[in-house]
């Protein structure tokens, strides 16, 4: 062991040290040396072994703990290297006179991380057909076995060309969007694509139009880029472009969900699409089209994408496999106007260089083998059934108090109370029913929120959908009843205050 002189006076050696080798501070399954190190750190930072005090000789500690002696000496060496202990020639190892600042487990503040939405009626869940999943496993295994030198090095910031070619084919056939694979960039989802693109086309303080109500995660990305969010209201034809023009005529971009407005589900009308593109040309602005769920159209053919109408001139198209396959895959993509390929590629390289190479080939296999399309056909049928069950259960179990338009696309629906309903009714009902999903109000920014819920129907078993829809409808009726009692019975309040 390396001997390091200490400035503290050697005191009498402790024969034994009370070490806790099984608490939460110890990683189960870690090497004996690492567990010992963690337990020693815990004893030192917790004041069990005080500054300047001697640590037991390695032989004694080995005997006490049942670990091998070299595990003890390695743990001591690491304590010394990290500044928790010092060694004196001929005298042994001592707790350092000053302990490096380190957060003691007990005083460690709880780290607040918002958990992902889970539970009944949560959004963002998907179902992947078992056959498709098996093929995905097989493709991944095959790709892994063939993993070669080209996968081991740095790659193109846009990601694998093979997958980009497959996506370009998909976009042409499914969305009427013709683009060169060189205009496509793979990302780890829409959220990531947004951060890269926003960073490349706008600078801090620039204005960007957003739908209100709209997709809260996109708003978060925009706020994190320190852009000025301009909330533009939405009506039955989509974003009201005239309002956008009035609020921020020189904004640098607009973020929209034209095929299936999130959350209301309206489709942007053709006149509005043309108005939006006219504005973008006049203002030299870009339009970000988030086409998150177009593959799930239940009635009629899917509409041409905005980027398809614009021929990728001022529109940046974003798509994701989070819904068509599964969110854990973390693969999405954007199709860029030619003039943006350079700046966006540079921005991507500055951020995380390029996407991981392992799964891209397997996703290309899914698309090229027809497995992707077959999976979509199968799950589309399941989702249609889930959508119908959820909508009909909610409206019948709420005696019509919830109006539930059946969406013609997507994986979520909106259930609304009468607009005059107290906003607290929805919050109370959702909490009482113990369901996930969102309050419709959470998707609003500046506009006056409508009372209701945004609920996911994909990826939940039908019996669970029925049970949770019933709970939510019943909780809604009780919450409505209690507000009515309060409103009609001011006497109740008066009675209370009179006593």
Binding site for ligand PLP (CB under 6 A): 123-124, 189-191, 215, 257, 262, 290, 292, 320, 322, 327, 332
- Complex with ligand PLP: residue 78 or 445, whichever CB lies closer: 445
Distance, in Å, from the CA atom of 18 to the CA atom of 64, rounded to the nearest integer, reads 10
Q: Minimum CB separation from ligand PLP for residue 123, in Å?
A: 6
In Å, what is the CA distance from 196 to each residue of 139, 186, 360, 428? 29, 11, 19, 38
- Complex with ligand PLP: residue 191 or 421, whichever CB lies closer: 191
Reduced to 3 states (helix: H, G, I; strand: E, B; else coil), residue 264 is: coil
- Complex with ligand PLP: residue 257 or 398, whichever CB lies closer: 257
Q: Which of 69, 74, 23 is nearest to 45 (CA)?
A: 23
Distance, in Å, from the CA atom of 104 to the CA atom of 91, rounded to the nearest integer, reads 28
Phi-psi region of 399 (alpha: psi -120 to 50; beta: other; left: phi over 0): left
Q: Minimum CB separation from ligand PLP for residue 247, in Å?
A: 22
- Complex with ligand PLP: residue 99 or 193, whichever CB lies closer: 193
- Complex with ligand PLP: residue 139 or 255, whichever CB lies closer: 255
Q: Minimum CB separation from ligand PLP for residue 218, in Å?
A: 7
Which element (helix H / strand E) includes 195? helix 190-201
In Å, what is the CA distance from 70 to each residue of 19, 61, 77? 18, 11, 10
Q: Is 378 within 8 Å of 238 (Cβ atoms)?
A: no
- Complex with ligand PLP: residue 272 or 412, whichever CB lies closer: 412
Q: Minimum CB separation from ligand PLP for residue 211, in Å?
A: 10
Q: Minimum CB separation from ligand PLP for residue 418, in Å?
A: 26
Q: Minimum CB separation from ligand PLP for residue 309, in Å?
A: 20
User: Looking at beta carbons, which residue is closest to ligand PLP?
Assistant: 189
Reduced to 3 states (helix: H, G, I; strand: E, B; else coil), residue 232 is: strand
- Complex with ligand PLP: residue 25 or 412, whichever CB lies closer: 412
Distance, in Å, from the CA atom of 430 to the CA atom of 394, rounded to the nearest integer, reads 13
Q: Minimum CB separation from ligand PLP for residue 238, in Å?
A: 14
- Complex with ligand PLP: residue 293 or 401, whichever CB lies closer: 293
Q: Minimum CB separation from ligand PLP for residue 217, in Å?
A: 7
Q: Is 306 within 8 Å of 289 (Cβ atoms)?
A: yes
Which element (helix H / strand E) includes 84? none
- Listing DSSP states for 9-73 in one string gives PP-PPPS-----SSSTTS-TTS-HHHHHHHHHHHHHHTTSS-TTPBPPPHHHHHHHH---HHHHH
Q: Minimum CB separation from ligand PLP for residue 436, in Å?
A: 13
- Complex with ligand PLP: residue 166 or 322, whichever CB lies closer: 322
């Amino acid at each position: 062991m390396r001997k390091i002189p200490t400035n503290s006076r050697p005191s009498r050696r402790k024969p034994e040290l009370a070490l806790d080798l099984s608490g939460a501070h110890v990683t189960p399954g870690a090497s004996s040396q690492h567990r010992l190190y963690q337990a020693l750190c815990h004893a030192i930072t917790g004041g069990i072994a005080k500054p300047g005090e001697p640590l037991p000789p390695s032989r004694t500690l080995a005997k006490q703990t049942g670990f091998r002696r070299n595990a003890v000496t390695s743990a001591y060496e690491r304590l010394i290297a990290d500044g928790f202990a010092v060694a004196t020639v001929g005298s042994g190892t001592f707790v350092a006179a000053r302990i490096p600042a380190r957060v003691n487990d007990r005083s460690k503040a709880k780290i607040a991380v918002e958990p992902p939405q889970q539970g009944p009626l949560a959004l963002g869940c998907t179902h992947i057909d078992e056959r498709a999943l098996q093929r995905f496993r097989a493709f991944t295994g095959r790709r892994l076995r063939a993993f070669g030198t080209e996968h081991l090095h740095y790659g193109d910031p846009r990601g694998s060309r093979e997958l980009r070619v497959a996506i370009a084919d998909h976009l042409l056939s499914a969305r009427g969007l013709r683009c060169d694979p060189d205009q496509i960039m793979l990302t780890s989802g829409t959220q990531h694509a947004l951060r890269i693109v926003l960073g490349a086309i706008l600078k801090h303080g620039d204005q960007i139009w957003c739908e209100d109500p709209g997709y809260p995660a996109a708003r978060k990305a925009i706020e994190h880029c320190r852009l000025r969010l301009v909330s533009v209201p939405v009506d039955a034809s989509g974003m009201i472009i005239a309002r956008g023009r009035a609020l921020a005529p020189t904004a640098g971009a607009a973020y929209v969900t034209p095929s299936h407005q999130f959350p209301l589900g309206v489709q942007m009308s053709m006149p509005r699409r043309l108005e939006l593109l006219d504005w973008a040309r006049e203002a030299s602005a870009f339009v970000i089209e988030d086409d998150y769920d177009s593959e799930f159209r239940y009635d009629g053919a899917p509409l041409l994408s905005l980027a398809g109408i614009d021929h990728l001139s001022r529109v940046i198209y974003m798509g994701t496999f989070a819904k068509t396959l599964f969110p854990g895959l973390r693969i999405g993509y954007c199709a860029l106007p030619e003039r943006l390929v350079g700046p966006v590629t540079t921005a991507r390289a500055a951020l995380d260089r390029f996407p991981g190479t392992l799964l891209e080939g397997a996703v290309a296999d899914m698309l090229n083998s027809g497995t992707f399309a077959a999976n979509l056909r199968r799950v589309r049928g399941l989702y249609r059934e889930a959508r119908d069950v959820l909508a009909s259960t909610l409206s019948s179990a709420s005696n019509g108090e919830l109006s539930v338009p059946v969406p013609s696309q997507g994986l979520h629906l909106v259930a609304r109370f009468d607009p005059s309903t107290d906003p607290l009714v929805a919050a109370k009902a959702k909490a009482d029913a113990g369901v996930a999903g969102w309050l419709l109000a959470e998707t609003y920014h500046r506009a006056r929120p409508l009372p209701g819920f945004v609920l996911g129907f994909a990826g939940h078993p039908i019996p669970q959908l029925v049970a949770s829809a019933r709970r939510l409808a019943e909780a809604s009726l009780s919450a409505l009843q209690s507000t009515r009692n309060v409103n009609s019975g001011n006497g109740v309040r008066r009675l209370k205050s009179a006593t």
